[in-house]
Amino acid sequence: MEAAWDHARAAAAAERWGAPRRLLFLRADGTPQELVLADTDAACWAEAVDARHDLGTLSGLSLCLRLLALVEVMTRARWLAGLYSLTPDGIDLHPALLRAAASMPLDAAARFDETGLRRLLSRPIPSGVSA
């Protein structure tokens, strides 16, 4: 996830803007739900993720939506400020924040639940490394 973040950030810095993306999902009841990535930055990040991870795959799509959800939650959850730092090269993310973003489910609007995120980050997150 960190490599995808860095790649997307580099694409934005290089102004490699992508076209808007229209994502169509089927709800459990079979009705369609549309998500449009029309924002210039979101389209850029989607283009960057697509180039490396293929948005046509579940893993590529999940990665893209998680990155965008992470950016979005960082703009509204001021308490996350201790888990990232602004540097001359961009934003450095704390590994715990990246692990949480990689493991936490997104809601129906493709966002992270702030309360759930706070709860997850308030306890140790398994690193996946066995001792």
| CA angle (55 as vertex; 33, 43 as ends), nearest 5 | 75
* Residue 57: pLDDT band with limits 50, 70, 90: very high
Quick check: 54 pLDDT over 60?
A: yes
Res 131: pLDDT: 46
Quick check: 126 pLDDT over 70?
A: no
* Residue 108: pLDDT band with limits 50, 70, 90: confident
Beta carbons within 8 Å of 26's beta carbon, 6+ residues apart = 32, 33
Res 129: pLDDT: 53
CA 22 to centroid of chain Cα atoms: 17
Quick check: 102 pLDDT over 90?
A: yes
Distance CA 92, CA 102 (A): 16
* Residue 128: pLDDT band with limits 50, 70, 90: low
Res 29: pLDDT: 94
Res 86: pLDDT: 86
Res 53: pLDDT: 94
Q: Which of 69, 83, 84 is nearest to 114 (CA)?
A: 69
